[in-house]
Amino acid sequence: MMNITNNFNINSPRPALQGLSAFAPVQTGIFGSGFGDLFGGLAQALQGLADMLGGNTSYPVGDGSGNGFSFLDRQPASPMKPISGEARIWGDPHFIGADGGQYDVQGEAGKTYNLLSDKGFQMNGTFEKWGDDGATVVGKVGITAGSNYVQVDKTGNTIINGQELKDGERVQLRNGGYAERKGSEIIVKKGEWEVNFQTQGDHINMDIRTDNAVSDGVTPHGLIGQTFDADDDARNGDKGSGAQGGGAIERADGSMSQAGDKDTVKSYEVSALWDTTFHNHNSDFAQQGVYHDQARETMQFAMMMGFSSLINNLFANNNLFSGIATPNYRF
Ligand SMILES: [Ca+2]
Ligand SMILES: [Ca+2]
């Protein structure tokens, strides 16, 4: 078949290759994936056409693991300026943002809050009572990254996808990345993010770092994630007894909370360690979310891939009409 993709001005070869693999015909019989490709291609083409006409540019992206319609996950036409940095959460809990700003978020003992929300990486922390003056600490953390589930508690007990991570052990995560335990220290590396937990027995401290928080075109959010914001302004906010991040954390509408604010923190509350449905912050980029891509050529690309897949299936020799395997043809 002709090489349709060569007619496109694709900025990055990666999405194009993934797009090809997503639609590469599979050699099976008459009731096999040939039909799947046919109807998948048709559906994709119609979706692309509908989007062109309606101006709707949202696509579902599966579970956020990078599988599924991954060729749609391409970066905008003008790539975002890289955001690198390191942030820290420690003690009862003190936050040091990626820009050096400092604030405390005590939350409420027993409740769980979203700390970092990015595409394919969600980290929640459960706060526990500390002392008798209303202070709290982070007692347990859960990371959902694609199909991986990582749980770290204050004693150092770490569970990776249902298996205990033993001292000195390093395990690979699904679809890249790893988790490693060195005594009371646990390191989780996945995608754009690396978190180093220092478990203290009665609470957890952690460093959160990235070389580029927006390599996927998605800006992070969450109580600490929002400080990776690509400006040089430090987010300094309320500190000390009863502080809830006032002056340093964003409200649900994106505006900055005022000093003394104790309500905004509630918008970061989640129902459980593995709750990745964020109604207020970064809801679009939670695991079950919808990815919005403004790049117009993405639509055109999706449409053409759909049509070319359809054409391939209709006219390729030995495909649907014979039920015989059709190896070695690609776009
Ligand atoms: Ca990101
Ligand atoms: Ca900043």
| Predicted confidence (pLDDT) per residue in 132-147, tens digit | 988 999 999 999 999 9
14-28, 221-235, 265-279, 300-314: which range is least confident on average? 14-28
Q: How far is the CA of 193 from the centre of ligand 1 (A)?
A: 9
Contact 189, 60 (CB under 8 A): no
Residue labelled with tokens 């090489």: 3
Q: How far is the CA of 248 from the centre of ligand 2 (A)?
A: 9
Distance (Å, whole) CA 31 – CA 133: 67
Sign of CA dihedral 152, 186, 170, 116: positive
- Is residue 329 pLDDT above 90, yes or no? no
Distance (Å, whole) CA 315 – CA 193: 45
Q: How far is the CA of 120 from the centre of ligand 1 (A)?
A: 8
Nearest ligand, CA 248: 2
Residue 183 region by backbone torsions, left for phi larger than 0, else alpha for psi between -120 and 50, else beta: left
Tokens of 61: 């992206």
Q: How far is the CA of 196 from the centre of ligand 2 (A)?
A: 22
pLDDT tens for 214-237 read 999 999 999 999 999 989 899 999
Q: How far is the CA of 34 from the centre of ligand 1 (A)?
A: 35
58-62, 75-79, 113-117, 306-310: which range is least confident on average? 58-62
Q: How far is the CA of 130 from the centre of ligand 1 (A)?
A: 33
| Count of beta carbons in the 10 Å neighbourhood of residue 317 | 9
Distance (Å, whole) CA 252 – CA 257: 10
Distance (Å, whole) CA 192 – CA 219: 11
Nearest ligand, CA 191: 1
Q: How far is the CA of 97 from the centre of ligand 1 (A)?
A: 16
Q: How far is the CA of 236 from the centre of ligand 2 (A)?
A: 9
pLDDT tens for 185-224 read 999 999 999 999 999 999 999 999 999 999 999 999 999 9
- Is residue 19 pLDDT above 60, yes or no? no
Q: How far is the CA of 221 from the centre of ligand 1 (A)?
A: 9
Distance (Å, whole) CA 179 – CA 188: 4
Nearest ligand, CA 232: 2
The residue ranking higher by pLDDT, 75 or 172, is: 172
Distance of CA 251 to the CA centre of its chain: 21
| 52-79 core/surface letters (b: 16 or more CB in 10 A; e: else) | eeeeebebebeebbbeebbbbbbbeeee
Q: How far is the CA of 229 from the centre of ligand 2 (A)?
A: 5
Tokens of 212: 């580029």
Nearest ligand, CA 116: 1
Q: What is the pTM of this model?
A: 0.66
Q: How far is the CA of 114 from the centre of ligand 2 (A)?
A: 19
Long-range contacts of 238-244, Cβ-Cβ distance < 8 Å, separation of 24 or more: 238/103, 238/104, 239/94, 239/102, 239/103, 239/104, 240/104, 241/133, 241/134, 241/135, 242/106, 242/134, 243/103, 243/104, 243/105, 243/106, 244/104, 244/105, 244/106, 244/107
